[in-house]
Amino acid sequence: MILELNEAQKILKKNARDFLEREIIPIADEYDRKYHPMPKDVALQLLHKLHPLGYIGATLPPEHGGQGLDFVSFGVLAEEGARAYLSLGMIAMIQDSAIMPILSRDGTPEQRAKYLPKIMSLENIACFCLTEPDVGSGARDLKTTAIRHGDHYILNGTKTWITNGSIADVAVVFASTDPSKGARGISGFIVDKAESPFTTRELPKLGCRSCPTSEVTFEDCRIPATNLIGREGEAYLIALADLMQIRVSAGMAAVGLAQAAIDASVKYAKERKQFGRPIGSFQLIQEMIADMVIITEAARFICFQAYYLLSKGQPCFREAAMAKGFSTEMAVGVTSKAIQVHGAYGISEEYPVERYFRDARTLTFPDGSTEIQKLIIGREMLGISAFA
Ligand SMILES: Cc1cc2nc3c(=O)[nH]c(=O)nc-3n(C[C@H](O)[C@H](O)[C@H](O)COP(=O)(O)OP(=O)(O)OC[C@H]3O[C@@H](n4cnc5c(N)ncnc54)[C@H](O)[C@@H]3O)c2cc1C
């Protein structure tokens, strides 16, 4: 159980916060209004700024070219990134976690040698393609197929809601190599756009507007058989392992958003005067801020608990689901209260809290909806799966 950051983690947090307050927060609102989504050159320019802080390959082992940070430190970076600018935090999080942990665990030495350095150095942007237009929560029913022809697979199908899809050079794609086997027929592939072209279409959305979210289509897309990850039929478990980690980071991103909303509300409540006094002196405003702080701190502890278990290499499906489900719903409530503290100015683009609210509302779906997180917790507690 983690109750306090160690000295190195505190320094990491301070350095990240100082940098993000100086370089990213001042441009976040302007970029959010301007870019739907952010063009690739702008995303790359910002990712290169984040790179020295440890955002890319954070927990990847040094022998695979990564930064070798522990998961709690990664959580610190996830919170600070989201507090600054969630759209950029999401682009960075997918670059970090979409492919590299999978190749580090399940890739061949050749796959690692070819792709990890390019993703680490940002020469390649990565994305994770699981969801399809007709297959969301029930991911084991994938319709995208990959049929073997000699030393290639032919990939056909459409993925949707893919973060970084339109700017990606390389995708990890989950497809059925044997539809008769259901989840046991799902295989994972590295799809390198330069060798195996695919098309994309951007999906405009309520929040995280400057983070690309795309439909990705594969039409008779030829993939070398050497790009199969692990063995045929093993990828459903590979996807679940990756999602366990990504869920905790989505939860921590929600904590970062909620913290941003608290910071903005405290500042505003001290400055804004009504009835000749700062609104922060009114008890009902203080109650709102107190409620925001209590629930954000509770979510932070839940997320750090899950990161701590990840650091120990322990499976933590229950804790990851709690982190994602609780924290993202918490952030919807906290950012909504932040708007209330700001009065009408809260819904204007003059203040960042409307962005925080839209971004928080968007976070309850990626990596499994709130309902799916609850069903995972229920399954872990009861030993009975609602999905069976
Ligand atoms: C911003 C954003 C980024 C994303 N990024 C990616 C990405 O990079 N890669 C990727 O593969 N996907 C991505 N997704 C997709 C995301 O994983 C899906 O949206 C999610 O899994 C839910 O699927 P769905 O939206 O199709 O909803 P559905 O599965 O159709 O669900 C609709 C509703 O029914 C509920 N529901 C479904 N099944 C059950 C059940 N058994 N019991 C109770 N309620 C149920 C859901 O909770 C939801 O409320 C992203 C989504 C968003 C919004």
pLDDT in tens, 53-67: 999 999 999 999 999
For the entire predicted model, the pTM comes to 0.98
Quick one: pLDDT at residue 3?
82
Mutate which of 131, 189, 328 for ligand 1? The one with the most ligand atoms within 8 Å of its CB, which is 131
Q: How confident is the model at residue 388 (pLDDT cuts 50, 70, 90)?
A: confident
Mean pLDDT (whole number) for 213-226: 98
CA distance 50 to 89: 9
161 lines ligand 1 (CB under 6 A): yes
Determine the CATH number of domain 237-382.
Answer: 1.20.140.10
* Whether residue 133 has a cis bond before it, omega within 30° of 0: no
368 lines ligand 1 (CB under 6 A): yes
Domain 7-106 has CATH 1.10.540.10: yes
pLDDT digits (tens, 9 = 90+) for 330-340: 999 999 999 99
Q: How confident is the model at residue 269 (pLDDT cuts 50, 70, 90)?
A: very high
pLDDT digits (tens, 9 = 90+) for 133-163: 999 999 999 999 999 999 999 999 999 999 9
pLDDT at 1 over 80: no
Bridge-based pairing of strands 186-192 and 170-176 is antiparallel
> What does the domain layout of the chain look like in residue ranges?
7-106, 126-233, 237-382
Using CA atoms, how far residue 166 sits from 129, 212, 246, 354, in Å, is 12, 6, 20, 26
162 lines ligand 1 (CB under 6 A): yes
126-233 CATH choice from 3.40.50.2020, 3.40.190.10, 3.30.565.10, 2.40.110.10: 2.40.110.10
pLDDT digits (tens, 9 = 90+) for 58-106: 999 999 999 999 999 999 999 999 999 999 999 999 999 999 999 999 9
Q: What is the distance in A from the centroid of ligand 1 to the CA of 131?
A: 8
Q: How many CB atoms lie within 10 A of CB 11?
A: 12
CA distance 307 to 300: 10
Owner of token pair 């980071």: 249
362 lines ligand 1 (CB under 6 A): yes
By the 8 A CB rule, do 262 and 293 touch?
Answer: yes
By the 8 A CB rule, do 46 and 88 touch?
Answer: yes
